[in-house]
Structure 1
């Protein structure tokens, strides 16, 4: 019985997704205006959150196409479509940014022809990193 429990526990560990924090920060300063642009990126989530100066954070999926149809889901909340124009993107950010503060997991999907890409990562310290940008 003991070996069955050990084997079962090992199988659960193997089948469970391994989540580790991979958010990385990069900052650049414009030489003419001294405005700092800060990006917080996750390879697992396949997105970058960025802030230009004192603007509020925005999100980018890294697609080579401007219309990628980025979709984001925080925890078990409803999926948020980021939209490809400024108005719909701002409305989506109004919904997304508060969820980043209380959420634990981010899932993403977008089109990057000829591929469809998906990301899945823990939020970890994303909000603290964005606040520090």
Structure 2
């Protein structure tokens, strides 16, 4: 894959309903030492995906990143009455990208658990 094709994408699937999770704010941060630099923000669409890659082409940089999924309001709206504080609200996934290629970092979510993997 050419460096110009490098990109970062994500999506969120609600495993408690088996449906895409719409309306979850997603923030991407680049980490360097103690610095945490904001890179991009998006909100998941009806398919649980962001409308565009969080980084692509010339904006893509190899390094260590955090994706922060602000899922609290979504869980309130879809999971019924949850105790406060919620078990999950802001979900942080820290990962590294070592090559200029397509990285896909999905979130599988339920009110009491989550998982992720390097997708394609």
TM-score (ref. length: structure 1): 0.37
Greater strand share, 1 or 2? 2
Of the two, which has the highest radius of gyration? 1
> With CA pairs under 8 Å and 6+ residues apart, which has the higher RCO, 1 or 2?
2
Structure with the higher helix share, 1 or 2: 1
TM-score of the superposition, structure 2-length normalised? 0.39
